[in-house]
Amino acid sequence: MNTRPIGVALLGCGVVGSEVVRLLTEQADELTARTGAPIELRGIAVRKLGKHRDVPAELLTTDSAALVAREDVDVVVEVVGGIEPVRTLLLQALRAGRSVVTANKALLAEHTAELAEAADASGADLYFEAAVAGAIPIVRPLRESLAGDRITRVVGIVNGTTNFILSAMDATGAGYAETLEEAGRLGYAEADPTADVDGFDAAAKAAILASLAFHTRVTAADVHREGIRDITASDLSAARALSCTVKLLALCERVPQADGSERVSARVYPAMVPLSHPLASVDGAFNAVVVEAEAAGRLMFYGQGAGGAPTASAVVGDLVAVCRNQVQGGRGPRESAYAQLAVSPMGDTPTRYHVSMEVADVAGVLATVAGEFSRRGVSISTVRQAVRGDGATLVVVTHTAPDSALAATVAALHELEHVTSVTSVLRVEGDTP
Ligand code: NDP
Ligand code: HSE
């Protein structure tokens, strides 16, 4: 057993990195006891030296490449974010046999293959628990605890910003724009909220989850992505009328094909979720992931998906795991991408729709609307109608059908003479009441 100190290079000392330093400092003795060797910070790479007054000045450097290349560095912890220069630095570290812990979902969603290959070539570890759902242990449960099972589906709320906005819209009845502004004032939304509200952040996490769950390489480009910018107060009230709420979901599932093979679907979009569904009660900036596996059944993981201390908890947990591997002279699990399932195009993927529309209260409207669904092979699950004056509100929830058939039906409804307006179209997750 190797008990010499393990040298760590920390890249980044912002929201997450500063908490990593705090945990490593405050818990130094306990971490040594748990790991079997002292974990020693060799240096902290940042962009600007002047602003980091809470960390030892002698550790700070702006020369990340030199820090990563130091002989006394065994593990590189990356909490900078973005693709370059981080990709190059981590490849350099892995090729030199230094293990890597990263929280960088954007990088992993694009470049896991080359990072994993570099790790395999040198025998280094690549750990990334913090990249999906912050503090929530989900990466290692998928990669390790459930390695003996067959996962069929993963559905999660993996973006705290959008969940905060949708929860607030549901609670207050306010519109998207004013709720986003409020989220910014309260520090939940960034000045540029694009990555969150347009679903890029959730799509990166969906790619990582799908890759792990289905032993297949899925990148962010494979993930169908729709954000929450177009969600209106009417969508939320339509959901409430059906005892549902609206959540931005990351969905990853196996899609059986007619020839008996399987494809993988990975997608992110806002969906109606019945209040009885376990994800419906996940409010505010919290995250949760539901995993369905053949033998284990349904599992749910819930907690804080962002923030300095919660994310640092996952980063330091990975660091301890990597250090334990080094103390014992071994290596953690490698990337498992043997299945290489094809990705199901969104149009072929089975989904369910809810459609609310305002119609004229004249003979034959219901039959005409129903005809548009049946013409495309879409079976209707429920229809509700409320008459007001000379018009009516018609709410249709479908059974499962290929997404392209559902989308084509909605496009056709817009063109019908007696459909005054289509007021809400949302996909549905779970069984509506
Ligand atoms: P911050 O922006 O708060 O911190 C980034 C840090 O990286 C800063 O210390 C910055 O230096 C440093 N940095 C930037 N560019 C370079 C560079 N070229 N070389 C060296 N250092 C550099 O980011 P976060 O801490 O919020 O996020 C870090 C990572 O963790 C990202 O990948 C993010 O996606 C991920 N993550 C974050 C979560 C969160 O809640 N914040 C949750 C889950 C994951 P300086 O301070 O001098 O500007
Ligand atoms: N912006 C992300 C969120 C941070 O809102 O969940 C965690 O990845």
CATH of the domain at 229: 3.30.360.10
* CB of 11 sitting under 6 A from ligand 1: yes
Do 123 and 177 belong to one domain?
no
Query: What is the model's pLDDT at position 232?
Result: 97
Do 105 and 143 belong to one domain?
no
Q: Give domain status of residue 46, yes or no.
A: yes
In the numeric block, the tokens 């989904």 are attached to 351
Cβ atoms within 10 Å of 191's Cβ, excluding its own = 5
Do 283 and 156 belong to one domain?
yes
The arithmetic mean of pLDDT across residues 345-359, rounded, is 97
Total domains, the chain: 3
Distance from residue 96's CA to the centre of ligand 2 (Å)? 31
The proportion of the chain whose per-residue pLDDT surpasses 90, expressed as a percent, equals: 96
* Closest residue to atom 8 of ligand 2, CA basis: 306
Q: Give domain status of residue 397, yes or no.
A: yes
> Which residues, at least 6 apart from 136, have a Cβ–Cβ distance to it below 8 Å?
287, 288, 289, 301, 302, 303, 304, 305, 314
Distance from residue 225's CA to the centre of ligand 2 (Å)? 16
The arithmetic mean of pLDDT across residues 283-312, rounded, is 97
Query: What is the model's pLDDT at position 1?
Result: 64
Identify the nearest ligand to the CA of 55 by its number.
Answer: 1
The arithmetic mean of pLDDT across residues 239-263, rounded, is 97
Q: What are phi and psi of 226, to 5 degrees?
A: -135, 135
Our answer to whether residue 205 is catalytic in this structure is yes
Q: Give domain status of residue 62, yes or no.
A: yes
* Closest residue to atom 2 of ligand 2, CA basis: 159
Pocket probe for ligand 2: among 108, 128, 136, 196, the residue whose CB has the most ligand atoms within 8 Å is: 196
Say if CB 290 and CB 141 are below 8 A apart: no
Do 110 and 162 belong to one domain?
no
Do 394 and 294 belong to one domain?
no
Do 300 and 169 belong to one domain?
yes
Q: Give domain status of residue 341, yes or no.
A: no
Q: Give domain status of residue 337, yes or no.
A: no
- Give the separation between CA 331 and CA 346, rounded to whole angstroms: 38
Distance from residue 27's CA to the centre of ligand 2 (Å)? 26
Give the pLDDT band (50/70/90) at residue 433: low
- Three-state DSSP at 1 gives coil
Pocket probe for ligand 2: among 161, 287, 315, the residue whose CB has the most ligand atoms within 8 Å is: 161
* CB of 201 sitting under 6 A from ligand 2: yes
* CB of 35 sitting under 6 A from ligand 1: no
The arithmetic mean of pLDDT across residues 98-108, rounded, is 98
Do 143 and 127 belong to one domain?
no
Pick the catalytic residue from 48, 51, 105, 205: 205
In the numeric block, the tokens 């014992």 are attached to 328
Distance from residue 74's CA to the centre of ligand 2 (Å)? 29
- Structural domain that includes position 246: 139-305
Q: What is the DSSP string of 169-228?
A: HHHH---HHHHHHHHHHTTSS-SS-HHHHTSHHHHHHHHHHHHHHHTS---GGGSEE--S
Do 96 and 223 belong to one domain?
no
122 strand-pairing partners? none
- Three-state DSSP at 130 gives helix
Distance from residue 175's CA to the centre of ligand 2 (Å)? 21
Query: What is the model's pLDDT at position 422?
Result: 96
Distance from residue 39's CA to the centre of ligand 1 (Å)? 22
Do 169 and 233 belong to one domain?
yes
Distance from residue 14's CA to the centre of ligand 1 (Å)? 5
User: Could you say which of 274, 305, 336 is where a domain stops?
Assistant: 305
Write the CA distances from 19 to 6, 83, 311, integer angstroms: 19, 22, 8
- Three-state DSSP at 260 gives coil
Give the pair of three-digit tokens for residue 390.
């000379």
The arithmetic mean of pLDDT across residues 343-358, rounded, is 97
* Closest residue to atom 4 of ligand 2, CA basis: 306
The most distant pair of C-alpha atoms in the chain lies apart, rounded to whole Å, by: 84
Do 378 and 352 belong to one domain?
yes
Atom of ligand 2 nearest to the CA of 195: 1
Do 197 and 298 belong to one domain?
yes
* CB of 161 sitting under 6 A from ligand 2: yes
* Closest residue to atom 46 of ligand 1, CA basis: 14
Q: Give domain status of residue 211, yes or no.
A: yes
Query: What is the model's pLDDT at position 12?
Result: 98
Q: Give domain status of residue 338, yes or no.
A: no
- Give the separation between CA 146 and CA 340, rounded to whole angstroms: 18
Identify the nearest ligand to the CA of 109 by its number.
Answer: 1
Reported as a single tens digit per residue, the pLDDT across 121-172 is: 999 999 999 999 999 999 999 999 999 999 999 999 999 999 999 999 999 9
Identify the nearest ligand to the CA of 190 by its number.
Answer: 2
Identify the nearest ligand to the CA of 161 by its number.
Answer: 2
C-alpha closest to that of 292 among 151, 158, 428, 156: 151
Q: Which residues of 14-49 are buried (b: 16+ CB within 10 A; e: fewer)?
A: eebbbbbbbbbeeeeeebbeebebbbbbbbbbbeee
* Closest residue to atom 20 of ligand 1, CA basis: 46
Reported as a single tens digit per residue, the pLDDT across 159-218 is: 999 999 999 999 999 999 999 999 999 999 999 999 999 999 999 999 999 999 999 999
- Give the separation between CA 61 and CA 63, rounded to whole angstroms: 5
Q: Give domain status of residue 155, yes or no.
A: yes
Average pLDDT, whole number, for the chain? 96
Identify the nearest ligand to the CA of 287 by its number.
Answer: 2
Whether the per-residue pLDDT at 270 is higher than 70: the answer is: yes
Distance from residue 421's CA to the centre of ligand 2 (Å)? 35
Pocket probe for ligand 2: among 159, 208, 209, 228, the residue whose CB has the most ligand atoms within 8 Å is: 159
Atom of ligand 2 nearest to the CA of 188: 5
* CB of 306 sitting under 6 A from ligand 2: yes
AA letter at 47: R
Domain of residue 419, CATH code: 3.30.70.260
